[in-house]
């Protein structure tokens, strides 16, 4: 039986998006009789590993590299594909790629940037920005780039088909991924609490690696004036998005999930990766980049948030983005299966 080894990361600095994307793709590969294995490098994934039916290893980078070599020296190596979804530089080296491919192992990268040379069989980047990048690849490398190859959880397929009305006048979704390391959630709530928002209802989602839960709960209980619901490490994100009118996010996977419903996405970026993506999405009008969350910019960011809310058109109908292919994960999985 063919096997897909996902090499990824999940920790407070990186967040949970890489692993969640891999889990969704793994589910599609299982339908094609390709068994998934997960190697998490320098990770602390929390409850994300509680999903049944998957094999996980928590590895150091050195152990990961040794395990790759072990696979390449295993009889039946050609029954493996290694799928790398992380930004660790040593996992993108040309020598490593050549040593994998020469042993008959298939290789795929989920490649956010074009800074590396790829000899892999497949590179994937669902961000439409990928179509403007100058990827350098071998002649045989297949490029799965742009919104035709978005990897979305099946829950979004089901939620999109529902036609029930939005239950609140002004439902505002706030979600900054699995960790929200810099603390954007609490900052944003404090800003929004300071301005009049008649009819507002907040849907607040915290990830499994969020560390400021006690402070946030205290603020919500004692200071926050608006009705709200709090979800922690939820599996109902598609449904929560479906009943929202606007969203504040860090971008990432959430950008394509919101686009499925046509929900305005206000991004507050933090990491360089988030900022690059947010600036692109703002330029092509797929989202609004409110600004970066960084010392020295917080007063300006506060002003931008307030201005954004003051100019929000609450009566505008949501229009699903037709460019987002909700079957993108099936297309990616099918191309992987063709390698065997």
Q: Which of 321, 175, 142 is nearest to 253 (CA)?
A: 175
Q: For residue 167, what pLDDT band results from cuts at 50, 70 and 90?
A: confident
**pLDDT of residue 88 exceeding 80:** yes
Average pLDDT over residues 132-160: 93
Per-residue model confidence (pLDDT) at position 49: 59
- Read off the pLDDT of residues 198-236 as tens digits, 9 standing for 90 and up: 999 999 999 888 989 999 999 999 999 999 999 998 989
The mean predicted confidence, pLDDT, of the chain is 92
Q: Is the separation of the CB atoms in 85 and 6 below 8 Å? A: yes
Q: How many angstroms separate the Cα of 38 from the Cα of each of 26, 45, 203, 323?
A: 9, 12, 32, 30
Domain definitions of the chain by residue range: 2-152+325-337, 155-310
**237 backbone dihedrals φ, ψ, rounded to 5°:** -60, -40
Q: Is the separation of the CB atoms in 203 and 243 below 8 Å? A: yes
% of the chain beyond a pLDDT of 70: 97
| pTM for this entry | 0.90
CATH of domain 155-310: 3.40.50.2000
Q: For residue 102, what pLDDT band results from cuts at 50, 70 and 90?
A: very high
Is-same-fold flag (2-152+325-337; 155-310)?
yes
- Read off the pLDDT of residues 234-287 as tens digits, 9 standing for 90 and up: 989 999 999 999 999 999 889 989 998 999 999 999 999 999 999 999 999 999
Tracing tokens 């931008």 back to the chain, one arrives at 304
SS3 of 58, please? strand
Class for domain 2-152+325-337, per CATH? alpha beta
Among 137-151, 157-171, 249-263, whose mean pLDDT is lowest?
157-171
49 vs 121 pLDDT, higher one? 121
**Which residue(s) pair with 146 in the sheet?**
none
- Read off the pLDDT of residues 45-87 as tens digits, 9 standing for 90 and up: 665 555 666 778 889 999 999 999 999 999 999 999 999 999 9
Per-residue model confidence (pLDDT) at position 53: 65
Distance CA(187)–CA(190), nearest Å, equals 5
Tracing tokens 């090499």 back to the chain, one arrives at 7
Per-residue model confidence (pLDDT) at position 51: 60
SS3 of 29, please? helix
Residues whose CB falls within 8 Å of the CB of residue 172, separated by 6 or more in sequence, listed in order: 192, 197, 200, 201, 202, 203, 244, 245, 246, 247, 248
Average pLDDT over residues 109-131: 96
- Cα angle value 201/246/164 (rounded, 5°): 75
Per-residue model confidence (pLDDT) at position 323: 84
Q: For residue 164, what pLDDT band results from cuts at 50, 70 and 90?
A: confident
- Read off the pLDDT of residues 279-336 as tens digits, 9 standing for 90 and up: 999 999 999 999 999 989 999 999 999 999 999 998 888 888 888 898 999 999 999 9
Q: Which of 95, 47, 40 is nearest to 207 (CA)?
A: 47
Helix (H) or strand (E) holding 32: none
- For the chain, state the CA radius of gyration: 21
């Amino acid at each position: 039986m063919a096997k897909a080894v996902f090499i990824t990361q999940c920790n407070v600095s990186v967040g949970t998006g890489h692993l969640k994307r891999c889990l969704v793709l793994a589910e599609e590969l299982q339908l094609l009789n390709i068994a998934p294995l997960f190697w998490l490098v320098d990770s602390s994934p929390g409850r994300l590993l509680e999903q049944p039916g998957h094999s996980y290893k928590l590895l150091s980078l050195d152990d990961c590299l040794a395990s790759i070599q072990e696979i390449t020296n295993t009889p039946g190596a050609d029954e493996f594909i290694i799928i790398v979804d992380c930004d660790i530089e040593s996992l993108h080296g040309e020598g490593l790629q050549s040593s994998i491919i020469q042993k008959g192992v298939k290789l795929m990268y989920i490649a956010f940037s074009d800074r590396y040379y790829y000899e892999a069989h497949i590179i994937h980047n669902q961000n439409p920005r990928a179509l403007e990048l100058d990827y350098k690849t071998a002649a045989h490398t297949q490029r799965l780039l742009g919104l035709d190859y978005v990897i979305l959880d099946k829950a979004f397929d089901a939620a999109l088909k529902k036609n029930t009305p939005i239950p609140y006048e002004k439902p505002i979704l706030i979600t900054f991924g699995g960790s929200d390391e810099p603390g954007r959630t609490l900052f944003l709530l404090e800003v929004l609490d300071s301005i009049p928002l008649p009819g507002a209802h907040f849907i607040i989602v915290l990830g499994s690696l969020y560390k400021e839960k006690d402070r946030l709960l205290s603020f919500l209980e004692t200071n926050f004036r608006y009705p709200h619901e709090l979800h922690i490490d939820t599996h109902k994100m598609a449904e929560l998005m479906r009943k929202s009118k606007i969203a504040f996010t860090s971008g990432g996977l959430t950008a394509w999930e919101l686009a499925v419903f046509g929900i305005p996405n206000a991004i507050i970026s933090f990491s360089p990766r988030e900022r690059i993506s947010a600036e692109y999405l703002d330029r092509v009008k797929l989202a609004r980049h409110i600004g970066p969350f960084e010392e020295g910019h917080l007063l300006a960011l506060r002003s931008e948030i307030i201005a954004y809310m003051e100019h929000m058109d609450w009566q505008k109908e949501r229009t699903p983005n037709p460019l987002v292919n909700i079957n993108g994960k099936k297309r990616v999985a099918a191309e992987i299966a063709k390698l065997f």
